[in-house]
Amino acid sequence: MKRVFALVLIVTMLLSIAGTGIATTEVLRGTLVIGGSTTVYVVTVLLAERFMEKYPDIRVETHSVGSTAGIVGANEGTFDIGMSSRWLRGDEPGWGLTEFVVYMDGLAPIVHPTNPVRDLTMKQLKKIFIGEITNWKEVGGKDMPITVIIREEGSGARGAFEDIVHEDIDPAPTLILVGTGGVRAGVAGDPSAISYITPVAVDETVRALTVDGVEAIAANVLAGTFPIIRPALFLTKGEPSPLEQKFIDWVLGPEGQQMLEEMGLVRVR
């Protein structure tokens, strides 16, 4: 009899709570501060806008400061989520950061639209960026010196490009510009220039080269036939908080991954 009474009491309490309209699940609210890679930033801004439309109680702030600053910021608590367009290296894997691969991307060599060169081999790229090839005529172009433009120190794009293309050999004396937009503008304004950016950022002001005859498009990145590939990472200090996890789960879920695919990036789920 006591068990029946207890069961009736529990049911009555639940019905009473339901009648008051009290929610049985907590609504997440607050602000997420995300910062890091200039490349991942461009994508994350669009993801955040869509996310905030769906979850108006959560505000997402994004900051473009470079991959290394994003990794350090996640570690030190400056950012709730850090963004990186390179893998952790050096002593960074020991910092207790949790990595989430959001998408995969290529790095496309870019030149001025008037440059007649259409393709370079990996060997030619390496020689250009370490200063062994210094004139476009050496790779089938015009007789003019090559202006090599690279990203700033701490850039994930620079780190990934150097790791893949010329490994531990230091780049030749170069023009250093900041951010994806910076190097694109530098190449767009110099017919003799070469640099590298995410294929998503290629526009009519520059032209992407093929590498060993392969285009830097999503299908080739996915197939592994394009040789210059890097990850896009979200990083949290330890395990993500419920608010951080909500955004990460959405980005890695069907809607977020579909958005990335529509941008020409390689989804990971």
Residues 189-219 have pLDDT tens digits of 999 999 999 998 999 999 999 999 999 998 9
Contact 209, 91 (CB under 8 A): no
**Structure confidence by residue, pLDDT tens digits, 24-79:** 456 889 999 999 998 899 999 999 999 999 999 999 999 999 999 999 999 999 99
- Are residue 42 and residue 130 in the same domain, yes or no? no
Q: How many domains does the chain have?
A: 2
For residue 8, being part of any structural domain is answered with no
117 and 218 co-located in one domain: yes
Could you tell me if 137 and 212 lie in one domain? Answer: yes
Residue with the two structure tokens 């290529």 = 106
| Assigned token pair, 163 | 């790791």
The predicted pLDDT at position 128 comes to 96
Model confidence at 167, pLDDT cuts 50, 70, 90, reads confident
Give the mean pLDDT of the chain: 90
How far is the C-alpha of 70 from the C-alpha of 81, rounded, in Å?
A: 8
Distance, in Å, from the CA atom of 10 to the CA atom of 213, rounded to the nearest integer, reads 70
Asked whether residue 94 falls in the same domain as residue 123, the answer is no
Residues 40 and 98 in one domain: yes
Q: Between residues 193 and 13, which one has the greater pLDDT?
A: 193
**What is the percentage of the chain residues whose pLDDT exceeds 70?**
90
In a domain, 14, yes or no: no
Per-residue pLDDT band at 229 (split at 50, 70, 90): very high
On whether the CB atoms of residues 28 and 242 are closer than 8 A, the answer is: yes
> CB neighbours of 131 closer than 8 A, spacing ≥ 6?
148, 171, 172, 173
Q: Are strands 97-106 and 266-267 parallel, antiparallel or unpaired?
A: antiparallel
pTM for the whole structure: 0.79
Q: Is residue 118 domain-shared with residue 153, that is, in the same domain?
A: yes
Three-class HEC string of 91-153: CHHHHCEEEEEEEEEECEEEECCCCCCCEECHHHHHHHHCCCCCEHHHHCCCCCECEEEEECC
Domain assignment of residue 159, given as a range: 108-223
Nearest Cα residue to 99 out of 2, 238, 208: 238
Q: Are residues 216 and 137 in the same domain?
A: yes
Average pLDDT over residues 166-185: 86
Measured CA distances, 232 to 6, 248, 266 (Å) = 54, 13, 10
Is the pLDDT reported for residue 5 higher than 80?
no
State the pLDDT at residue 26. 66
The answer to whether residue 154 scores a pLDDT higher than 60 is: yes
